[in-house]
Amino acid sequence: MNSKYETVIGLEIHAELATESKLFCRCKVGFGAEANTQTCPICLGMPGVLPVLNERALEYTIRAALALNCEIPPYSKFDRKNYFYPDLPKGYQISQLHLPFSQNGYVEFDLERERKKVGITRVHLEEDAGKLVHTGVSNSSNMSYVDFNRSCIPLIEIVGEPDLRSPAEAIAYMRAVKEILEYVGVSHCNMEQGQLRADLNVSLRPRGSSEYGTRTEVKNMNSFRSILAALEYEVERQAQVLDSGGSVEQETLLFDEERGITMSMRNKEEAHDYRYFPEPDLVPFEIDATWVEQLRSDLPELPLQRRERLQREYGLSADDALALAATRQMADYYEACVSLSGQAKECANWVRGDLSALLNETGQTIELCRATPQHLADMLSLIQSGAISGKIAKTVLEKMFHTGRDAKSIVEAEGLTQISDEDQIAAIIDDVIDSHPGPADDVRNGRLKAIGFLVGQVMKATQGKANPRLVNELLRAKLLG
Amino acid sequence: MELFRLTAHELHDKLRAGEITSVEITQSVLERINAVDSKIQAYVTVVEELALEQARIVDVHLRDGDPLPLLAGIPVSLKDLICTKGIPTTCSSRILQDFVPPYDATVAQKLNDQQIVMLGKLNMDEFAMGSSTENSAFMVTRNPWDLERIPGGSSGGAAAAIAADAAICALGSDTGGSIRQPAALCGIVGMKPTYGRVSRYGLVAFASSLDQIGPLTKDVTDCAWMLNAICGHDPMDSTSVNLPVPDFTQSLVQDIEDLRIGIPDEYFIEGMESDVERRVREAIAELEGLGAQVVRVSLPHSEYAVATYYIIAPAEASANLARYDGVRYGFRAEETTDLIDMYKKTRSKGFGSEVKRRIMLGTYALSSGFYDAYYLKAQKVRTLIKQDFDEAFEQVDVIVAPTSPTGAFKIGEKVDDPLQMYLSDILTIPANLAGLPGISIPCGLTLQNLPVGLQIVGKPFDEETVLRTAYTYEQNTDHHKQRPTLE
Ligand SMILES: [Zn+2]
């Protein structure tokens, strides 16, 4: 990284809202439907049709905006953004330019233990376009088809201030925004399905300078990996241009994932004149302040606050809080476990550790997890009472996870109960000492390290069911008097 | 009896008295179309079989004594920019020549609910852009009063058909006078309701903030009947207003005693034909004689109305017409090399010259660097024009003026002079900019035997006073009974 320059990054994040129907018509929204089956005259831009705002989309926009600390002006309207492209059925996109539903917000997040604050210029609502599908080998067929299923799906555009100073910071910011949108439940943010995309504005300036350099914009990025790669590439490229005495050209770029480079899509001269003007088919909106306050008070606790509370209330480490509050559902699950079991630290270990591993392995989400907080709490109380060992508990959790059965019935059915009967354990210990006289003598002669080996043999003989604490005690008593 | 000569309410009475059937009415009008439409060229599409089928169904209900809506069995024709499911809707444009909507406009649905008989679709200036119907891509409609003259526009097909008795009632659209001006030039009744009174869903948009659907009829009673059928809030149109709709037939009373009528000085402009002014002044005197109080009012920003309109309407049109790109429906040029070439050739060949002129005007007015000077300025002037009316309506109940400064002009007379053509709407445009209801009713003929229209403009959502004034005038004069001789 070139240290002569300061990196300046601003993101425009587009998030698809998780409404059941589209923004201006009543078509259902759903991923993976057959092409053009989720369409109607309105989202196909037929002659004479008119848009009618989906109130739920407005509500989601305001919720997102409030979660991003934005102001909600009392008066707002839509504008037409004019350009020609086959995926844009009306020849204009209904968007917001002059009076968006919200403005002047900010996002806070932690990066490497440091609190960052990034300004949000505005959050506005607009409609998505369709999707082009190209078929055939390029030299044998040049047909393009359009799928309008995505046309008119509600999108919010979150325009961030150029407050980001490194690609890593940009990624952390985008993750923070994604978490917030997921927390308030307005978007599924599935990046593979294109529900969360970003345009990246990048410029460099000499360190200490207060003026911005010429920026480039990398369009339509939808994975953290490629965003990071594109930002790093673009920062390096601009630094090289500046180092060689050149100047950065203001242009719109596309990122070629395979080659890992950005390529020019259009330069400043070719930039579109979108000829924005107020959308006459939709009357301006007066936003009721009481309603906004209602939405504000209905907001759930947001990721940052939740992490702070988890640390405060349950004495968790910053790392534990970061992981456990990654989604609202995960944090809810964790807190349910704690309230049922009273064991904050143990819950954190199990949820972050074994349970998260199982979720990752199976690609499941915590909401659909068959091992419920009650199951987990029951399991913890079995450990606490000594009925099962921590090691056995791992097996129990796995079985709970896959079958949805409770801990007790698994332990009983599989005969996993811990052996805590002293006579039974003593008999096994005698067998082990008999068959391993060497290590036994070592212990007798004060080389206590060998105890571990003998404990292991007892556990092995009981398939892990012997109470390890008892085994240890009895062994010592027997060998050391 | 020549049923085609009657009004909707006269036909209704005969239908309900069992004197005639809907099939007889429909056949009579269809025969009239066959007889005269080769001369006036009002219809783009006639749906004869559908019409007769619908008429037969109404006749069965009549025979069975079923309760029926007022307009049941009455033939109605629509300007060809109102979408009709399964019936071509062309906007008189090559680009939509073969377009058959898979949906009905809300007004078409409302008329279907009335069980009207759908006769066909009427010629117009392409995409409603024009004042003479000469901008149709298909044919020039003739004025039934003089076949060498234009019928006005853009709802020229509708006005000519009504005047020629080739339709009983029609719906048109009025963006800058497109119902009232042709109604005036063809000697019939045409009304533009308040913006927001009638749903625009399914009306192919020209200028969204100005367009409004309204009836063209033979008399004021039919106009009220049609308004009752089409007005009302529509959840499919956010700009339609959620206000209760009165029963407009209640306004069909002769009572203008003490009604305050405003006469705007600015509407008797230079260049107005003297015969037109004479007829309108006589009509005002008539209204005064019927008990109205005549007051001079001023609408000082009227002189900017045409300029304002020709920024706002083309700006909106430039976006509204962007969807005709050859991708999904309508005309697509063949033998194109790439996407841009397809767009260019499709739109160059698909649109006529006036439409292209207005798309360019609007595109220019919205361009970066010009927006404030043109579009924004025009919106400000529009507000001033509205305020003029607000102030005038503090003193008066309706405003009365000529509808058009001239009678029907000759075909071809103004085609090469768009600015002259634009001035045809100088007296109707202000009501669109202010969103007000306005009607044009016949008030006599010029010395050349051409109709003159009297325009009555009301307060927002006060169609009732407009209708009452028009009805009172009509019932005390015979102008609405005069018909051109076509034979
Ligand atoms: Zn749709």
Rounded-to-integer distance, Cα A189 and Cα A13, Å: 11
Q: What sign has the CA pseudo-torsion A172, A264, A274, A144?
A: negative
B56-to-A118, B19, B61, B72, B292 alpha-carbon distances in Å: 71, 15, 9, 11, 46
CB A131 within 8 A of CB A147: yes
Q: Smallest Cβ distance to A45: which of B208, B323, B371?
A: B323
Q: What is the pLDDT of residues B435-448, one digit of tens each?
A: 999 999 999 999 99
- What is the amino acid identity at position A333? Y
Rounded-to-integer distance, Cα B5 and Cα B10, Å: 10
| Tokens found for residue A165 | 């100073």
Q: Which of B178, B240, B302, B440 is catalytic?
A: B178
pLDDT of B48 reads: 98
pLDDT of B424 reads: 87
Active site residue B178: yes
Residues of A in contact with B321 (CB under 8 A): 91
Residues of B in contact with A80 (CB under 8 A): 319
The class level of CATH for A422-480 reads: mainly alpha
- How big is the CA angle at B169 (ends B167 and B174), to the nearest 5 degrees? 110
Side-by-side strand order, sheet with A277-278? A92-95, A79-82, A277-278
Interface of A to B at Cβ within 8 Å reads 41, 44-53, 80, 82, 84, 86, 89-92, 146, 273, 275-277, 280-283
Mean pLDDT of B397-415: 96
Q: Which residue has the tokens 């002259």?
A: B420
Q: What is the pLDDT of residues B91-144, one digit of tens each?
A: 999 999 999 999 999 999 999 999 999 999 999 999 999 999 999 999 999 999
CB A364 within 8 A of CB A330: no
Best mutation site among B200, B328, B346, B364 for testing chain A: the one with the most A CBs within 10 Å? Answer: B328
Q: What does the DSSP assignment read for A393-456?
A: HHHHHHHHHHH---HHHHHHHTT---B--HHHHHHHHHHHHHH-HHHHHHHHTT-TTHHHHHHH
pLDDT interval class at B179 (50, 70, 90)? very high
pLDDT interval class at B487 (50, 70, 90)? low
Rounded-to-integer distance, Cα B6 and Cα B375, Å: 46
A105 strand-pairing partners: A120
- Contacts of the segment A318-324: beta carbons below 8 A, 24+ positions apart: A318/A110, A318/A113, A320/A348, A320/A352, A322/A110, A323/A352, A323/A356, A324/A348, A324/A351, A324/A352
CB A377 within 8 A of CB A341: yes
Q: Which residue has the tokens 């090691």?
A: A391
| Tokens found for residue A426 | 């003593």
**A173 half-sphere exposure, CB direction, 13 A CA radius:** 30
Q: Closest Cα to residue B458, out of B158, B276, B206, B193? A: B193
Q: What sign has the CA pseudo-torsion A402, A407, A409, A412?
A: positive
Q: How many residues does chain B have?
A: 487
Query: What residue ranges do the domains of chain A occupy?
Result: 5-293, 301-413, 422-480
Q: Closest Cα to residue A299, out of A54, A52, A29, A72? A: A72
Report whether the peptide linkage leading into residue B154 is cis, meaning its omega lies within 30 degrees of zero.
Answer: yes
Residues of A in contact with B101 (CB under 8 A): 41, 46-48
Q: Do B235 and A91 touch (CB under 8 A)?
A: no
Q: Smallest Cβ distance to A86: which of B339, B366, B367?
A: B339
- Whether chain A has a CB inside 8 Å of the CB on B329: the answer is yes
pLDDT of B29 reads: 98
Q: Which of B154, B173, B302, B440 is catalytic?
A: B154
The pTM score is 0.91
pLDDT of A37 reads: 96
Neighbours of B101 (CB within 10 A): 24
Rounded-to-integer distance, Cα A261 and Cα A232, Å: 10
- How many whole angstroms from A40 Cα to the centroid of ligand 1? 4
| Tokens found for residue A344 | 């904050």
Q: Closest Cα to residue B361, out of B176, B177, B165, B129? A: B129
Q: What is the pLDDT of residues B238-262, one digit of tens each?
A: 999 999 999 999 999 999 998 999 9
Mean pLDDT of B56-82: 97
- How many whole angstroms from A81 Cα to the centroid of ligand 1? 19
What is the full per-residue pLDDT of chain A (481 aa) written as tens digits?
Answer: 457 899 999 999 999 999 999 999 999 998 889 999 999 999 999 999 999 999 999 999 999 999 999 999 999 999 999 999 999 999 999 999 999 999 999 999 999 889 999 999 999 999 999 999 887 655 555 688 999 999 999 999 999 999 999 999 999 999 999 999 999 999 999 999 999 999 999 999 999 999 999 999 999 999 999 999 999 999 999 999 999 999 999 999 999 988 999 999 888 777 789 999 999 999 999 999 999 999 999 999 999 999 999 999 999 999 999 999 989 999 999 999 999 999 999 999 999 999 999 999 998 889 889 999 999 999 999 998 878 888 889 999 999 999 999 988 898 888 777 777 888 888 899 999 998 988 888 888 888 888 889 888 888 888 888 888 888 888 888 888 7
Q: What does the DSSP assignment read for B130-183?
A: -SSSTT-SS-PPPBTTBTTB---SSSHHHHHHHHTTS-SEEEEEESSSTTHHHH
pLDDT of A411 reads: 85
Q: Which of A380-384, B165-169, B296-300 is the least confident region?
A: A380-384
Residue ranges and CATH numbers for the domains of chain B are 3-255 (3.90.1300.10)
A335 strand-pairing partners: none
Side-by-side strand order, sheet with A114-127? A102-111, A114-127, A154-160, A5-16, A196-206, A216-221, A251-256, A261-267
Nearest chain B alpha carbon to A89: B323
Q: Do A51 and B368 touch (CB under 8 A)?
A: no
Nearest chain A alpha carbon to B90: A47
Please name the residue ranges forming H helices in A75-128.
none
B118 strand-pairing partners: B76
Instruction: State the smallest CA–CA distance between residue A279 and chain B in angstroms.
Output: 9
- How many whole angstroms from B317 Cα to the centroid of ligand 1? 23
Question: In terms of pLDDT, which residue wins out, B225 or B271?
Answer: B225
Average pLDDT over chain B, rounded to an integer: 97
Rounded-to-integer distance, Cα A81 and Cα B146, Å: 46
Secondary structure element (H or E) that encloses residue B402, with its range:
strand B398-402
Residues of B in contact with A50 (CB under 8 A): 200-201, 236-239
Q: Do the bridges between strand A75-76 and strand A285-286 make them parallel or antiparallel, or are there none, so unpaired? A: antiparallel
A423-to-A236, A420, A433, A436, A466 alpha-carbon distances in Å: 72, 9, 15, 20, 12
- How big is the CA angle at A405 (ends A402 and A407), to the nearest 5 degrees? 105
- How big is the CA angle at A50 (ends A44 and A54), to the nearest 5 degrees? 90
CB A132 within 8 A of CB A144: yes
Best mutation site among A40, A46, A282 for testing chain B: the one with the most B CBs within 10 Å? Answer: A46
Residues of A in contact with B328 (CB under 8 A): 44-46, 89, 146
pLDDT interval class at B38 (50, 70, 90)? very high
Q: Do A82 and B318 touch (CB under 8 A)?
A: yes
Residues of A in contact with B236 (CB under 8 A): 50, 52
Rounded-to-integer distance, Cα A400 and Cα A388, Å: 15
Q: Smallest Cβ distance to B99: which of A47, A89, A273?
A: A47
Neighbours of B286 (CB within 10 A): 17
Q: Do A50 and B81 touch (CB under 8 A)?
A: no
| Tokens found for residue A256 | 């070629």
Q: Which of B22, B79, B155, B192 is catalytic?
A: B79
Q: Do A46 and B329 touch (CB under 8 A)?
A: yes
Nearest chain B alpha carbon to A273: B368
Q: Closest Cα to residue A68, out of A127, A8, A7, A124? A: A124
pLDDT of A140 reads: 52
Nearest chain B alpha carbon to A132: B327
CB B78 within 8 A of CB B122: yes
CB A157 within 8 A of CB A124: yes
pLDDT of A141 reads: 59
Backbone angles phi, psi at A93, to 5 degrees: -105, 135
The region, left, alpha or beta by phi > 0 then psi within -120 to 50, assigned to residue A303 is alpha
Rounded-to-integer distance, Cα A186 and Cα A101, Å: 15
Q: What sign has the CA pseudo-torsion B239, B244, B250, B254?
A: negative
Q: Which residue has the tokens 């008593």?
A: A477
Q: Is the ipTM of this complex over 0.85?
A: yes
CB A38 within 8 A of CB A30: yes
Burial class (CB in 10 A: 0-12, 13-18, 19+), A228: middle
**For A135-144, b where at least 16 C-beta lie within 10 A, e where not — what string?**
eeeeeeeeee
Rounded-to-integer distance, Cα B146 and Cα B124, Å: 18
- Whether chain A has a CB inside 8 Å of the CB on B420: the answer is no
The region, left, alpha or beta by phi > 0 then psi within -120 to 50, assigned to residue A208 is left
Please check the confidence at residue B330 and state whether its pLDDT lies above 60: yes
The region, left, alpha or beta by phi > 0 then psi within -120 to 50, assigned to residue A404 is left
- What is the amino acid identity at position A78? F
Active site residue B85: no
